[in-house]
A and B are shown apart, each in its own frame.
Chain A
Amino acid sequence: DVKVTQSSRYLVKRTGEKVFLECVQDMDHENMFWYRQDPGLGLRLIYFSYDVKMKEKGDIPEGYSVSREKKERFSLILESASTNQTSMYLCASPGQGGTEAFFGQGTRLTVV
């Protein structure tokens, strides 16, 4: 019954490292999103993709990039991790016609 899977539950990286967060969905959805969640700030949209190789910036794209080479996989890339990118990262995939978005279990990233 797994719908959205994130590759890691917990991750610890060093400042300056390149970090890849992977997300896979098995629902054949076109739309996929990456959010970060911080206390008191809710979920903030980093990037979203509405088709293979298509991407658009969300509200806080600085310091991040994304890759969507296949429909089922949407990767979030931290080019040079910094301590202020320590956060919970959530991947989501909504269906068409405004149906509910399914979320992955989240990746708690700590940058030291």
Chain B
Amino acid sequence: AQKVTQAQTEISVVEKEDVTLDCVYETRDTTYYLFWYKQPPSGELVFLIRRNSFDEQNEISGRYSWNFQKSTSSFNFTITASQVVDSAVYFCALAPGSARQLTFGSGTQLTVLP
């Protein structure tokens, strides 16, 4: 069985602060995929990034960066110099190699205050 844990239910930061959202996963599969999605107040789920289990290289995209560590089963997401528009619920998700399941964490509500 798969499991994704996002221990941080809510985080508030002031604009321009850096913030890290934690994600810990459990799986018995050797091949799997990890994802981050953003859900702004409008409600639609926006795909941010995908990582496969064989690629532990960290990734940076503008103000966003992701740290994947298989040793600790973690896939953390950092927003640098946060902005008010970053306010949203962020979900971490896990899929097995077959992609016949997609398990989400409970989400982290990020509020960036001006």
Contact = CB atoms under 8 A, between A and B. Distances in A.
A74 interface: no
A100 B106 CA distance: 19
B43 A106 contact: yes
A53 B47 CA distance: 28
A40 B106 contact: yes
A69 B97 CA distance: 25
A contact residues, range: 20 to 34
Contacts of A50: 100
B contact residues, range: 20 to 34
Nearest to A56: B100
Given A43-B91, A98-B52, A105 B99 contact: no
B50 interface: yes
A103 B104 contact: no
Contacts of A44: 104
Interface in A58-81: 58
A98 B100 contact: no
B45 A98 contact: no
Task: Give the dominant DSSP class at A's interface.
Answer: strand
A103 B91 contact: no
Most buried by A among B47, B95, B99: B99
Contacts of A105: 43-44
B94 to A, nearest CB: 10
A94 B103 CA distance: 12
B100 A106 contact: no
A102 B102 CA distance: 12
B106 A42 contact: yes
12 contacts: A33-B102, A42-B6, A45-B101, A48-B102, A58-B101, A88-B43, A98-B95, A100-B50, A101-B35, A101-B95, A102-B47, A106-B43
Interface of B: 6, 9, 32-33, 35, 43-45, 47, 50, 52, 91, 93, 95, 97, 99-107
Interface of A: 31, 33, 35, 40-45, 48, 50, 56, 58, 88, 90, 92, 94-103, 105-106
